[in-house]
Amino acid sequence: MMALTRNPFRVSVEDFSDEQNEDEGIQEEFLDLIHDSTVEASFEDEGLEKFWGTMEKAFPKVTEKPRILLTVFPSTYLCASAFPTGVAVMTKTRNTLLDLDSDLRCVISKIAPRISSIADKKQEQKSH
């Protein structure tokens, strides 16, 4: 499957025999993929992740295993990097810990919060 993920146009059709795969018709789908000139141009222009993501609807049987293979590393990396962060969050807020999932998600996320936008949406509280 690694060879298919790296370059599907260098893999032989025999690697997709129906005896080795549970899904019937995977060879036909693979043949359609490797003989489509627009797919080959797309493969050359896009990165692996984007290519396999865009081919998901047209070739669901062939793209299933490469997509799983490409998502293993980012998932493992996020879990490994989240562990020390989770320990730090739990240590600092041991007594006030309410929702570790939300806290951890905020700490790990690469998306910067737009605090000014959130603050603008809140109504000012007037003094009595």
In a domain, 81, yes or no: yes
Spatial CB neighbours of 54, under 8 Å, sequence gap ≥ 6: 42, 46
In a domain, 49, yes or no: yes
In a domain, 119, yes or no: no
pLDDT tens track for 6-39: 888 888 877 766 445 556 678 888 889 888 999 8
In a domain, 67, yes or no: yes
Q: Mean pLDDT over residues 87-112, rounded?
A: 66
The two three-digit tokens of residue 90, written as one number: 């739990």
pLDDT tens track for 59-82: 988 888 888 887 776 666 767 766
Q: Mean pLDDT over residues 93-105, rounded?
A: 61
In a domain, 86, yes or no: yes
In a domain, 93, yes or no: yes
In a domain, 122, yes or no: no
- The number of domains in the chain is 1
In a domain, 17, yes or no: yes
